[in-house]
Amino acid sequence: MKITFWGAAGEVTGSCYIVETDRVRVMVDCGIHQGYPEAEALNRRLPWKQTMHLDAIVLSHAHLDHSGRLPLLLPLPGNARIHATPQTIALTDILLLDSARLQQNDAVHHNRRRQRAGKAPIAPLYTVEQAAQVIARMNPIPYDQPTQVADGIAIRFVDAGHIIGSASIEMKVREGGTTKTIVFSADIGVPGSPLLRDPTTLEHADVLLLESTYGNRDHRALPETLDALTDILLEAERDQEKVLIPSFAVGRAQNLMYHIAGLHREGRIRALPVYLDSPMAIAASNLYLANTGIMDEETLALVKAKQDVLKVPGMSYCTSAEESKRLNDVKGAMVIIAGSGMCNGGRIVHHLRHNLWRQGVHVVFVGFQGQGTLGRHLINRPRTVRIFGEQVAVNAQLHTLGGLSAHAGQSTLVEWARPLAKDKPRVFLTHGEETPRMALADRLRKDLGMESTRPMRGQSFDL
The distance of closest approach from Cβ of residue 149 to Zn ion in the complex, given in angstroms and rounded to an integer, is: 21
The distance of closest approach from Cβ of residue 161 to Zn ion in the complex, given in angstroms and rounded to an integer, is: 11
Question: By CB under 5 A, which span of 46-54, 58-66, 280-288, 293-301 interacts with Zn ion?
Answer: 58-66
Residues ≥6 apart with Cβ < 8 Å to 433: 10, 11, 12
Q: Does 437 bind Zn ion (CB under 5 A)?
A: no
Decide whether 83 or 264 has the Cβ nearer to Zn ion: 83
The span from the CA of 15 to the CA of 66, in Å, is 5
What's the distance, CA 203 to chain centroid? 26
Question: By CB under 5 A, which span of 59-67, 272-280, 387-395, 446-454 interacts with Zn ion?
Answer: 59-67
The distance of closest approach from Cβ of residue 431 to Zn ion in the complex, given in angstroms and rounded to an integer, is: 9
Decide whether 21 or 430 has the Cβ nearer to Zn ion: 430
The span from the CA of 228 to the CA of 310, in Å, is 20
β-strand pairing of 153-159 with 384-387: unpaired
The distance of closest approach from Cβ of residue 344 to Zn ion in the complex, given in angstroms and rounded to an integer, is: 18
β-strand pairing of 207-211 with 426-430: parallel
DSSP H or E stretch at residue 106:
helix 86-116
Decide whether 162 or 311 has the Cβ nearer to Zn ion: 162
Q: Does 211 bind Zn ion (CB under 5 A)?
A: no
Q: Does 264 bind Zn ion (CB under 5 A)?
A: no
Give the number of other Cβ atoms within 10 Å of residue 409's Cβ: 18
Q: For the window 344-383, what string marks contact with Zn ion as x by the rule CB under 5 A?
A: ----------------------------------------
DSSP 212: -
Decide whether 160 or 256 has the Cβ nearer to Zn ion: 160
Decide whether 8 or 356 has the Cβ nearer to Zn ion: 8
Question: By CB under 5 A, which span of 120-128, 181-189, 206-214, 310-318 interacts with Zn ion?
Answer: 181-189
The distance of closest approach from Cβ of residue 231 to Zn ion in the complex, given in angstroms and rounded to an integer, is: 30
Do residues 226 and 263 touch, judged by C-beta distance below 8 A?
yes
Decide whether 275 or 428 has the Cβ nearer to Zn ion: 428
Q: Which of 92, 379, 378, 367 is nearest to 247 (CA)?
A: 367
The distance of closest approach from Cβ of residue 451 to Zn ion in the complex, given in angstroms and rounded to an integer, is: 26
Q: Does 187 bind Zn ion (CB under 5 A)?
A: yes
What does each C-alpha distance from 293 to 87, 195, 301 come to in angstroms?
A: 11, 10, 11
The distance of closest approach from Cβ of residue 281 to Zn ion in the complex, given in angstroms and rounded to an integer, is: 16
Question: By CB under 5 A, which span of 60-68, 306-314, 325-333, 342-350 interacts with Zn ion?
Answer: 60-68
Question: By CB under 5 A, which span of 57-65, 129-137, 210-218, 251-259 interacts with Zn ion?
Answer: 57-65
Decide whether 260 or 342 has the Cβ nearer to Zn ion: 342
128-136 and 86-116 helices, crossing angle to 10° = 160
252-265 and 279-289 helices, crossing angle to 10° = 70
Q: Does 426 bind Zn ion (CB under 5 A)?
A: no
Decide whether 431 or 454 has the Cβ nearer to Zn ion: 431
Q: Does 63 bind Zn ion (CB under 5 A)?
A: yes
Decide whether 55 or 187 has the Cβ nearer to Zn ion: 187
Number of residues forming the site for Zn ion (CB under 5 A): 2
The span from the CA of 258 to the CA of 250, in Å, is 13
Going across the sheet that includes 334-338, the strands are 315-317, 274-277, 334-338, 242-246, 362-365, 397-400
Q: Which of 219, 193, 222 is nearest to 295 (CA)?
A: 193
Interface with Zn ion (CB under 5 A): 63, 187
